[in-house]
Amino acid sequence: MAILQQVVLNEGDESEIDGLEDIGLKIVERCDGLPLAIKVVGGLLLNKGKTRDAWVNVSNHFAWSMTRSNDDINKAVYLSYEELPPHLKQCFVFCSLFPKDELIIRGVIVRMWIAQGYGHDIMRSTLPEDLGVEYYNELVSRNLLEPYKRSYDLSASTMHDVIRSFAQQIVKDEGLLVNDRQDVHGIAGASKLRHLSVSKTAIERVAIQKQVSLRTLLLFGRCITELTYFRNNISCLRVLHLQGVDLVDLPDYICHLKHLRYLGLANTGISAIPRGIGNLKFLQFIDLMGCRNFHQLPDSILKLQNMRFLDFRGTRLTSIPPGMGKLENLVNMLGFPTYLDDRGHAWSSLEELRSLSNLKWLDLRGLELASSGSMAATAMLNSKKHLKILDLTFASRLTDNGMIEGTSNVIEEQERAEVVLSNLCPPPCVECLTVNGYFGYRLPRWMRTMSDFPSLRRLELKDYVCCKQLPVGLGQLPFLDYIWIDHAPSIVSIGHDLLFLSSSSADDQKVTTGTRITRKLQLHGLSRGDAGVAFPKLETLGLKGMLGWRV
């Protein structure tokens, strides 16, 4: 019963289980005391509510009397599955396509759900991405997905082997996860597969010739030698995920997959995508993260008016076709390069961001190439009412030994960096902010008044080279739970301006250093009992590479 209470109750809710102990004991008995079964049922009870009727219904559920299985864990999982609404059932089963050694990244799985049509509700105006996050978080809260401990804000998870096995039994002949040679033969035996996932296993042409109904194909690692195997077999495909596959060239026939919504090419060796990519009118997501050889986008990408997600992080892309601003449905734009074309007429890639009013996550790279503050101002970041995550990256000026790399025009470059960052002020709604490689000597004005960003939850400063001051007033942000300072050699001390408070008393906060050693840092602020407590939500404060800090 104690385990069930721990799973079901939030802090301060103990009184809500008064009179439920007898029902709780019956449920624990049905779980045969197995921790995983109790955890899954506890997640179900948490979502159903802490009432006697709800607990009685769970205790008397028909799933406990299943005759096809004597496994109490599977009965508990089956009970939780049966209580899922239909839209969550299909999302849960889809998660089982990820092999045990692959993290289920929230953003990736949500994009796949949307591509399959799972993230849509005609009765609500919520963005599909937001709806997908709701689905994902509910699966986590029901303990059907296990949060990855090193991830922030539930952004990655895993699935227990027992739960994955159960989900694969549910999907039966429509979905198959292949991760060893023995499972390969199951492909040929299934003629109506809709979802196929293959992990680090070679598959042969004969095994996939019959799979004409595929809507999902996930390949992880070295799975196949020739994508031409699928030339005539995947015309119905909606999701094509080729993560880490040994792939150098993407075949042109990919552009004939007229139903394709999701194209994942992360960590492959491709250098370009076919010019005919613009023919894929339904394509919404292109993931090129970690494609180190990728360097050029075809102009036809401007035809993809349904595009919602582009990720160029970790590529060699340095320019974009003029007109990217026409892709007004973009929600996430990652690894967007700063580029200035002054041949004939001055044009900046940052200008293209002006019309992208639906952006929720924006990652800008190469900001040292912005020639002026006015160039940065054309992005109009402050006007983007939906922007939640903003990453701003300048080329780092730190050498491998942590020293500042000198140039002949240091002062001029510093002043330009200061003006550029000043003109990239986020909107007040921003929740996660990362600034990489900032070379300026002074803080931009908007970082001197952090109270203008009341929704900020996460702040990262990396390779913060010359500035001697941290953003002011962080201690007064009501939701800030994560601060990470990585290599700030010019910071000598951390003073009261970090808190922006007039009175002081000791308050302990958790500090995680760069070496992952946890210690206590005495922060000068109000006591925890006062309404104006400093850092009321702070959980992690990371300080790494603070070479000039005098403790």
Convert the pLDDT of each residue in 18-43 to its tens digit: 557 778 788 888 887 788 888 998 88
Residue 288: what residue type?
L
pLDDT at 507 over 60: no
Cα–Cα distance between 504 and 521 in angstroms, integer?
14
The residue-averaged pLDDT of 357-363 equals 97
Chain position carrying tokens 């470059």: 413
Bridge partners of residue 347, in order along the sequence: 341
Confidence category of residue 70, pLDDT binned at 50, 70, 90: low
DSSP 312-333: -TTS------TTGGG-TT--EE
Chain position carrying tokens 């020739």: 226
* This prediction's pTM: 0.88
Q: Which residue has the higher pLDDT, 37 or 390?
A: 390
**H/E run at residue 147:** strand 146-147
Q: What's residue 525's pLDDT?
A: 39
3-state secondary structure of 362: strand
Q: What's residue 114's pLDDT?
A: 96
The residue-averaged pLDDT of 80-91 equals 92
Which has the closest alpha carbon to 144: 99, 91, 216?
91
33 burial via Cβ count (<10 Å: 0-12, 13-18, 19+): exposed
Cα–Cα distance between 164 and 73 in angstroms, integer?
12
Tokens of 134: 């709701």
Q: What's residue 504's pLDDT?
A: 36
Q: What's residue 230's pLDDT?
A: 62
Cα–Cα distance between 340 and 342 in angstroms, integer?
6
* DSSP-H helix ranges across 172-230: 181-189, 205-208
The dihedral built from the CA positions of residue 138, 143, 146 and 151, taken in this order, carries a sign that is: positive
Q: In whole numbers, what is the pLDDT of the chain averaged over residues?
A: 84
Cα–Cα distance between 339 and 352 in angstroms, integer?
11
Convert the pLDDT of each residue in 518-536 to its tens digit: 333 334 333 333 446 889 9
pLDDT at 389 over 50: yes
Count of C-beta atoms within a 10 Å radius of residue 18: 9
pLDDT at 490 over 70: yes
**Secondary structure string (H, E, C) spanning 265-296:** CCCCCCCECCHHHHHCCCCCEEECCCCCCCCE
> Looking at 159-261, which runs of residues are DSSP E strands?
175-178, 195-199, 216-220, 239-243
Report the percentage of the chain scoring pLDDT > 70.
81
Q: What's residue 345's pLDDT?
A: 62
Q: Half-sphere exposure of 523 toward its Cβ, with a 13 Å CA cutoff?
A: 26
pLDDT at 509 over 50: no
The residue-averaged pLDDT of 482-495 equals 91
Cα–Cα distance between 378 and 449 in angstroms, integer?
22
Q: What's residue 10's pLDDT?
A: 47
Which has the closest alpha carbon to 444: 465, 463, 480, 417?
417
> With contact defined as beta carbons under 8 Å apart, do 361 and 333 qualify?
yes
> With contact defined as beta carbons under 8 Å apart, do 518 and 526 qualify?
no
Q: What's residue 514's pLDDT?
A: 36
Is beta strand 389-393 parallel, antiparallel or unpaired with respect to 432-436? parallel
Convert the pLDDT of each residue in 244-270 to its tens digit: 888 888 988 899 899 999 999 999 999
Q: What's residue 131's pLDDT?
A: 94
> Among 383-392, 433-442, 457-466, 467-476, which is the least confidently predicted range?
467-476
Convert the pLDDT of each residue in 191-207 to its tens digit: 678 999 988 776 666 66
